[in-house]
Structure 1
Amino acid sequence: MAGILIIDDDETIRTVFKRFLEGKGYEVRVAADGRQGLRVLEDGPVDLVITDIMMPETDGLEVVMAIRGRESEIPIIAISGGMHAMPMDFLPMAKKFGARDVLYKPVELDDLLTAVEKALA
């Protein structure tokens, strides 16, 4: 069973993604911000990280860079809401820094599952 870490400051998103992915057979841990997420990674490895970009404390870009700075090959899916309509879209930056895939919120659960399966393949 693959282990997934979901990092998002939105409790609803963490809960919905966690329940959905656990229903698909994944073991899921959650964190409310990037700093907490990096601490969770220190507690034990995961097979995939799904991180929001815009969060308090440590943002998702910092999470991506920290994971890659550890020379870790953990696949990362970055998510963010509404940014593609703004002048600064951080999701392409996340991909450039090492995220395997990016998804814009609102994320359809079927799209999430497809991205997860692809990242873990």
Structure 2
Amino acid sequence: MARILIIDDDETIQNVFQRFLSGKGYEVLVASDGRKGLRIMEEVPVDLVITDIMMPETDGLEVVMAIRGKGTDIPVIAMSGGMHAMPMDFLPMAKKFGASKVLYKPIELEDLLAAVQEVM
């Protein structure tokens, strides 16, 4: 069973994604910020990371850079809400830093599943 780590400071997103992906046969871990997510990755191997960009402590860009900085090829899906309409859209930057795929919130659950299957 593949293990997915979801890093997002929004508890609702954590819960909805965890329940949905668990129901599709994945083992799902959650963290409320990048620092906690990176700590989990040091303790438990994961097959995929899904991270929000804008978070307290350690943001999603730092998560992507830390994962790639270790030379690992773990797929990373970066996500963020509504910023594609704003002057500062960080998702293209996440892609440049090594994210496997980027998604804009709100994310339809079937689109999330398709992205997970695509990068794994």
> Which amino acid is 2:57 matched to?
E
Deviations 1:1-28 (A, max 9, x none): 1000000000000000000000000000
In the alignment, is residue 95 of structure 1 matched against residue 114 of structure 2? no
Alignment: residue pair count = 120
Q: Name 1:11's counterpart in structure 2.
A: 11
Q: Name 1:28's counterpart in structure 2.
A: 28
Q: Name 1:80's counterpart in structure 2.
A: 80
Alignment of 1:66-77 (within 5 A): 66-77=66-77
Q: Hey, which bits of structure 1, 4+ residues long, moved more than 6 A?
A: none
> Which amino acid is 1:22 matched to?
S
Q: Secondary structure of the equivalent of 2:73?
A: coil
1:72 to partner: Cα distance: 0.6
> Which amino acid is 2:28 matched to?
V
1:103 to partner: Cα distance: 0.4
Q: Secondary structure of the equivalent of 1:55?
A: coil
Q: Secondary structure of the equivalent of 1:71?
A: coil
> Which amino acid is 2:71 matched to?
E
| Runs (5+) with no aligned partner, structure 2 | none
Q: Name 2:39's counterpart in structure 1.
A: 39
What TM-score results when the alignment is normalised by the length of structure 2? 0.99
Q: Secondary structure of the equivalent of 1:46?
A: coil
Q: Secondary structure of the equivalent of 1:54?
A: coil
| Runs (5+) with no aligned partner, structure 1 | none
Seq. identity, %? 77
Please provide the CA RMSD for this pair.
0.4
Counterpart-to-counterpart distance in 1, 2:5 and 2:43: 12
What TM-score results when the alignment is normalised by the length of structure 1? 0.98
Counterpart-to-counterpart distance in 1, 2:108 and 2:54: 19
> Which amino acid is 2:30 matched to?
V
Q: Secondary structure of the equivalent of 1:88?
A: coil
